[in-house]
Structure 1
Amino acid sequence: MDIKSKLVKRAKKGDTEAFQMLIHEEKEKMYRTAYVYMRNENDALEVFQESLYKALNSIQTLKNNDYFSTWLMRILINTAIATLNKKQKIVPISNEMFDQIGDVKNIQSEEHLDLLQAMDEIEEKYKTVLLLRFYHDFTVKQIATFLDCPEGTVKTNIRRGLEGLRLKLKGVYLDDRQNSIV
C-alpha cells in the first residue's frame, strides 16, 4: 500500500492531519480548476474552500482510496457548477482581472486569454472533459469513471469540445492574420 492510500485510510478514520497532507498535494490543481470555472479569485477561493469542507465531511463515502484525487476534483467541479448556477452570473474576462492574479496563475499571454474565452463559450460537458484530459492529464478511462459515463461518450465529448475550440479560435486568429496583411 502506498503512502497516499495510507493517508486516505487515516483521513477516512477522522485524522484531519492526514487529510491536510492529502490536500497539500492537490490544492494548486484544485484552485486553478476553480479559477477556470469561476473567473474570479474570490469566487474561486470560495468554491475551493467549500469543496474542501464537503470533502472533509464526506470522505468516509470514498469507496476506492486510489481515486481520492478524482473524487476530490469531482466535488470541486460539481461545487463550481452549482455555485455558477446559483449565482447565474457571467464574468467577462478582462486583462485587469488577470493582472490581479500575479505570477501564481501565469496567464498573461493573449493566446491564453483567447483560449480561456473560448473555453467559456463551449458547453459545460465539453469544458469539463477538456479540463480533466488536458489540464489535469486524466486518462479517458479515469474521466469516464469520474463522470460516471461510458468511455465512448468521453471520447466524443473531447472531440466535440476540441472542434468547438478550434472553430472559436480559428475565427480570432484568421481575422488577425487578415488584418495584418491589409
Structure 2
Amino acid sequence: MENELDIKKAQKGDHEAFTRLFRQLESQLYRLAKTILLKDEDCADALQETTLKVYKGLANLKQPKFFKTWVIRILINECNQLLRMRERTIAVAEIPEEPVVSYVHFEDSGNVDLQSFINQLDESLRLAIVLFYYDDLSIKQIADVLDISEGAVRARLHRARRLLSKQIHPVREEGLANE
C-alpha cells in the first residue's frame, strides 16, 4: 500500500508525509465530522483536535495498515466530546429552540436529496451509512472504529436503509403525483 510508506515516514517525523496523509483523508474526515456535528465550526474544531492527537500519537501506531480506522476513531471521539460540551453549554445558556426546517426538496431532475434524509437519521445509523457508503469501510472496519460487533453494524445498516426507503418512496410518489 502506497500510504504505508508515508505513514512510516510520518512516524519518523517527516512533516510532508504527514501532510500528504491528511490531505488524502481530509474530505472523508470532514464529511464524517459533519455527519455527527452538523455545524461547520464544530467540524473545524474536531478536525483540528484530531490532527493534533494523530500527530502526537502517530509514533505509537504499531500497524500502519490501521492508520485510517485509527484516525476515524479519534475523530469520532473528538466529535462526541464536542457534543457533550455543547449539551452542557446549551443546558446552562437555555437557548430557544430553532425552527423546524423541512429537509425534503427536489432537484430539477426530480431526484430526492438523499443527504438531507441521511442527516435526519439517528447518529448511530448516520455514522454506519456514511462510513460504509461514503468512506468505503468494510463492516469489520466499521465495527472496529465504533467498537461494536459486526452484527450490530449490519443491523444499523439494515435499519438505516429501511428508514431511508420509507422516507424516500412516499416523497417520490408525491412528486410523481404532482407532475
Q: Which TM-score band applies after superposition, normalised by the shorter structure?
A: 0.7 to 0.9
> Could you tell me which residue of structure 2 aligns to residue 161 of structure 1?
160
- Percent identity between matched residues is 27
Deviations 1:22-64 (A, max 9, x none): 1121112212222233333322222221211121122233232
The residue type paired with residue 25 of structure 2 is E
> Could you tell me which residue of structure 2 aligns to residue 62 of structure 1?
61
The 8 Å contact of residues 32 and 127 in structure 2, kept in 1 or not, is answered as no
> Could you tell me which residue of structure 2 aligns to residue 8 of structure 1?
7
With structure 1 as the length reference, what TM-score do the two structures score? 0.74
Map 1:96-135 onto structure 2 (within 5 A): 111-112=112-113, 115-135=114-134
> Could you tell me which residue of structure 1 aligns to residue 83 of structure 2?
84
Greater relative contact order (Cα < 8 A, sep 6+): 2
The 8 Å contact of residues 34 and 77 in structure 1, kept in 2 or not, is answered as yes
With structure 2 as the length reference, what TM-score do the two structures score? 0.75
C-alpha distance in 2 between matches for 1:48 and 1:163: 31
C-alpha distance in 2 between matches for 1:87 and 1:165: 28
C-alpha distance in 2 between matches for 1:80 and 1:29: 14
- In structure 1, stretches of 5+ residues that fail to align are 96-108
The 8 Å contact of residues 112 and 172 in structure 2, kept in 1 or not, is answered as no
Q: Say if 1:93 and 1:163 are closer, same or farther in 2 by CA, change over 3 A.
A: same
Q: Say if 1:135 and 1:156 are closer, same or farther in 2 by CA, change over 3 A.
A: same
C-alpha distance in 2 between matches for 1:148 and 1:38: 19
Structure 1 residue 93: Cα displacement: 6.4
> Could you tell me which residue of structure 2 aligns to residue 105 of structure 1?
none
* Higher normalized helix content (fraction of residues): 1
Structure 1 residue 134: Cα displacement: 0.4
The residue type paired with residue 16 of structure 2 is E
